[in-house]
Amino acid sequence: KRLPQAIIIGVKKGGTRALLEFLRVHPDVRAVGAEPHFFDRNYERGLAWYRDLMPKTLEGQITMEKTPSYFVTKEAPARISSMSKGTKLIVVVRDPVTRAISDYTQTLSKKPDIPTFESLTFKNRTTGLIDTSWSAIQIGIYAKHLENWLLYFPIGQILFVSGERLISDPAGELGRVQDFLGLKRIITDKHFYFNKTKGFPCLKKAEGSSKPHCLGKTKGRTHPDIDQEVVQRLRDFYRPFNMKFYQMTGHDFGWD
């Protein structure tokens, strides 16, 4: 068992589960199924505890884990860096407005009596002041969170995966990820088929199985209808942060 050489650090509702499931098809990738939450919630348990969660690997295989809340955790960059400065980091990002709605949809499925999306979005509806303390909004200010990581890791050690392209062109995005991890490009178009009912790509064969595999019922939930004016307000709010993020990463994700 080895400490992970690569970690999917974010973002929540960005497509991290899909990326991990797709990557596990690769014979040289071994990953923990559940999110360890070591660098945010379980750090005091120590590295030996963390290592023990990891799967056994052979020489030349990469150990991975994913915990999307790391990206927004203040202490995570320093902690990961002190484990290993060479850790490769992967961030799956998607349009922050749809990400926020998806985040809300997930919470709604667990707590049906929460306030409306609209009322949670604004500190004050009349002035249109956005409530940035609400985590669903907060997570999508990617540029702000990224600054924290760049204090500890060079930008070249972080790969930004487009959550949108993970759906529209999974093999293309997986090609970039395999290159970044220094893996042979084994996962290609032939591993995927598009499931029209879910609106998601699925794997023809999952890791260790001969059956096709789609992500679980909780993925690809139908979003509630959100007032278009609210959506527009959020687009305007995120635009400057998105622009900054595009500059920082050298990649235009086309969210505007």
What DSSP line would sit under 12-49, residue for residue?
TTSSHHHHHHHHTTSTTEEE-SS---TTTTSGGG-HHH
pLDDT on residue 204: 87
pTM, rounded to two decimals: 0.94
C-alpha 147/C-alpha 205 separation (Å) is 38
| Interval 106-135: pLDDT, tens | 999 999 999 999 999 999 888 989 999 999
Residue 3 tokens, joined: 């400490």
Q: What is the pLDDT of residue 150?
A: 98
pLDDT of residue 221: 78
Q: What is the pLDDT of residue 215?
A: 78
Note the pLDDT of residue 126.
87
* ∠ Cα 7 184 252 (to 5°): 60
Phi, psi (rounded to 5 degrees) for 248: -65, -40
Beta bridge partners of 202: 193
Host H or E run for residue 242: helix 228-249
Residue set of the binding site for 3'-phosphoadenylyl sulfate? 13-17, 94, 102, 219-223
pLDDT of residue 142: 98
Helix or strand run (H / E) with residue 159:
strand 158-162
> What pLDDT does 136 receive?
98
pLDDT at 209: 72
Q: What is the pLDDT of residue 239?
A: 98
User: What is the pLDDT, as a whole number, of residue 133?
Assistant: 97
Contacts of 102 (CB under 8 A, 6+ apart): 13, 221, 223
List residues with catalytic annotation. Answer: 13
The answer to whether residues 121 and 130 touch, using CB atoms and an 8 Å cutoff, is yes
Residues of the chain with pLDDT under 70: 206, 218-220
3-state secondary structure of 256: coil
Give the amino acid at 22: F
Task: Indicate the pairing of strand 200-203 with strand 192-195.
Answer: antiparallel
DSSP 96-125: HHHHHHHHHHHHHHH-TTSPPHHHHHEEET
pLDDT of the residue at 43: 98
Rounded Cα distance between 166 and 187, Å, is 13
The residues that bridge with 88 in the sheet, in sequence order, are 6
**Structural domains in the chain plus CATH codes:** 6-249 (3.40.50.300)
- CA angle 144/92/228 to nearest 5° reads 75
Q: What is the DSSP letter of 213?
A: B
Which amino acids are annotated as binding site, given as ranges? 13-17, 94, 102, 219-223
Distance between CA 52 and CA 62 in Å, rounded? Answer: 15
